[in-house]
Amino acid sequence: HSMKQLHFRHLVNMVYPEKRMKEFASTFDVVDGPNDEGEMFTRPGILVDAFPSPYPNEESARYANGGALPPDLSVYTTAKHEGLDYIFALLLGYRDPPAGIAVRDGLYYNPYYPGGLIAMPPPLHSDGLVDYED
């Protein structure tokens, strides 16, 4: 998912203290410019930079996600009524479909998603998928 409106600074003291968040931001290469010669250049990220997109363009995002374009979640929690609760329910709501509901390959049943069928695989389905620093 892209987070076009989420910047590293938004997570200061929410995820990491400012010093650690600056270190984290600097691990990303950001295209900036133009410089005095009109050239674009790459530099380490800083707190005012937006999070980089996981995909270079919409077409590659669709290709990586079975034809579905992942929504931008940067403002979703404030744009959608009860957005935090919706995302929480969506992440944990994957179920086996009820009798009589056919689910084609590449889709998953989630009663919290409009229509009940979603292309995103269950992201929280087993241990070991995410490595934590601690």
The CA distance from 113 to 130, in Å, is 24
pTM greater than the 0.75 cutoff: no
Mean per-residue pLDDT over the chain, rounded = 86
Inter-CA distances, 8 with 39, 57, 86, 120, Å: 25, 21, 24, 25
The CA distance from 70 to 58, in Å, is 9
pLDDT in tens, 12-53: 998 899 999 999 999 999 999 999 999 999 999 999 999 888
pLDDT at 61 (0 to 100): 87
pLDDT for 116 beyond 90: yes
